[in-house]
Amino acid sequence: MVTSDWEFTPVVQQSTPGLIAQQLRESLISGKITAGSQLSEAALAKAFGVSRGPLREAMQRLLQEGLLRSERNRGIFVKELTQDDIADIYDARSAIESAALRMVVSRGASADLSKLRQACANLAKAAASGERQSVSDADLSFHAALVNASGSPRLVRMQATLLAETRMCITALEATQDDVATVVDEHRLILEALESGSLETALERLQDHMQDGVMRLQRAEEV
């Protein structure tokens, strides 16, 4: 019997709570929902055109990702990020991404850096366009590509939630990339160190880049 020769892509029916969580996450990290405000289950359910069951499941996910905060019998609120949170997010990101660097380098030649080069090019393009939003998107895409290259599903998952929090910080504070050229350079330097296989240099540059990020955000918070 011929079962193939057609090569259809298998249908992947996304679950309703998954779709809702995705849309909610977008709204949260883009700042469409202001920090600290309460999310009414009934209102959201009506907006999404579903009942409260699936909506609650979506909220559960975002709760565990740390984007929301729950008070029993009171409701669910958008988490507000303090200075300490910002520092902690970047500490955790450093931990994950440093480990990813080590893993990529330890693979040596078998590592696939093409996605990283692509991400770096996209960042340069975004910087040239001048749009702040697309610059920070490309920035975080680079970091995501870095951890992807490590091939560790758990590192990828943990970083995903950290990147969502990072996006929340950036949009909430409307942090300006005062010097776009520097940011692009920092990423390119990391990639170059990676390509030449010099782990220590790459780690150092990543660390510096992270520290820059924290300082930029914390300066924005003070205003």
Angstrom CA distances, 54 to 20, 47, 48, 72, 215, stand at: 8, 13, 10, 19, 39
Q: Site map for a copy of itself, 23-52, x if CB under 8 A?
A: ------------------------------
Q: Among 68, 94, 104, 168, indicate the residue that binds a copy of itself (CB under 8 A).
A: 94
29 binds, among a copy of itself, DNA, none (CB under 5 to 8 A by kind): none
Could you give the string, one character per residue 50-89, with x where binding to DNA holds by CB under 7 A and - elsewhere?
xxxxx-x-------------x-xxxxx-------------
- The answer to whether 66 contacts a copy of itself (rule: CB under 8 A) is yes
Q: Which stretch binds a copy of itself (CB under 8 A): 118-126, 131-139, 151-159, 182-190?
A: 151-159
User: Between 13 and 34, whose beta carbon lies closer to DNA?
Assistant: 13
Instruction: Give the one entry of a copy of itself, DNA, none that residue 54 binds, where binding means its C-beta sits below a cut-off of 5 to 8 angstroms depending on kind.
Output: DNA
- The owner of tokens 């469409």 is 32
Q: Which of 33, 35, 95, 124 binds a copy of itself (CB under 8 A)?
A: 95
76 binds, among a copy of itself, DNA, none (CB under 5 to 8 A by kind): DNA
Please name the residue that has the structure tokens 């959201």: 44
Structure tokens at 178: 């005062």
**Is 144 one of the binding residues for a copy of itself (CB under 8 A)?**
no
Q: How many residues bind a copy of itself (CB under 8 A)?
A: 27
> What sign has the CA pseudo-torsion 214, 200, 188, 123?
negative
**Site residues (vs DNA, CB under 7 A):** 1, 13, 15-17, 38-42, 49-54, 56, 70, 72-76
Question: Which residues contribute to the site for a copy of itself (CB under 8 A)?
Answer: 13, 15, 53, 56-57, 60-61, 64, 66, 72, 88-89, 91-92, 94-96, 98-99, 103, 152-155, 157-158, 162
